[in-house]
Amino acid sequence: MMPVVGADLSKCLVPDELWELAAPLLPSFAARLQGGGTAPCDERAVFTAVVYALTSGCAWRHLPPAFGTSPATAHRRFTVWTEEPDPPIFTPRLTVIADNREGGKAWFGAARRSAGNRATTNRLTLHVSDLAPGEGVLMTTYHSDGQEMATGTPFMEVRTTADNRIDLLDELWSVLPPELRIAAAAFAPEGLTSADIRQASDARA
């Protein structure tokens, strides 16, 4: 069955504040020269279709026409946006798109090396809701004993007794081996402007 998408869902998938943050990060459009080329497409419409495919589990070929872009175009643009320029290095990374204005929102994702032998990068987005006080979800890219590095589990559920940002940041920092302490931040929902940040340079100062 072909899913149906309305304008309200499109706005929910990619609200204006998310698009304002994401748009400058996307590679510029380059027309393909196939027979006479292709006309530039609506980048926001394509981005919305890609978000829908990644978060709903919808197969690319089943993307609803209501997005205003073809499944082939959406998949091609996704491939361009997520190109891994150095696949042999498998650079793991966490990504945060955050609106640092008062009341701003944040979106999180991870790029991780495959635990198998595939020469590709796995990309993970995670939506978490309804956490009780003290509950949390830890997203990571890899784990290491200081000698060897291996792909970590996609995420794990954790509990903490910390009841404020400073205590939570202290607890997170304390469980990291000193050689792996790079940076950490803690902030309340919709409170990015008052985030508490810890960096390795702070400890050495």
Cβ atoms of 14 and 5 closer than 8 Å: no
Total domain count for the chain?
A: 2
pLDDT, position 39: 57
Tokens of 205: 């100062």
- Residues written for the chain: 205
Q: What percent of the chain shows pLDDT beyond 90?
A: 2
* Residue 192 resides in a domain: yes
Task: List Cβ neighbours of 101 (8 Å cut-off, separation of 6 or more).
Answer: 192, 193
Cβ atoms of 139 and 125 closer than 8 Å: no
pLDDT, position 3: 46
- Give pLDDT tens digits for 50-92: 888 877 778 889 998 888 889 999 988 887 776 655 555 566 7
Question: CB 23: neighbour CB atoms within 10 A?
Answer: 12
81, 112, 140: which is the final residue of a domain? Answer: 81
pLDDT, position 170: 92
- pLDDT tier, 40 (very low <50, low <70, confident <90, very high otherwise): low
Compute the average pLDDT of residues 22-34: 68
Q: Are residues 97 and 180 in the same domain?
A: yes
Range of the domain at 122: 93-204
As a whole number of angstroms, the distance between CA 165 and CA 20 comes to 28
Average pLDDT, the chain: 75
**pTM, rounded to two decimals:** 0.47
Cβ atoms of 136 and 159 closer than 8 Å: yes
Tokens of 169: 């940041």
Q: Are residues 107 and 163 in the same domain?
A: yes
Q: Of 47-56, 100-109, 118-127, 195-204, which gets the smallest average pLDDT?
A: 100-109
Say if residue 137's pLDDT is above 70: yes
* Residue 151 resides in a domain: yes
As a whole number of angstroms, the distance between CA 8 and CA 183 comes to 38
Q: Are residues 145 and 68 in the same domain?
A: no
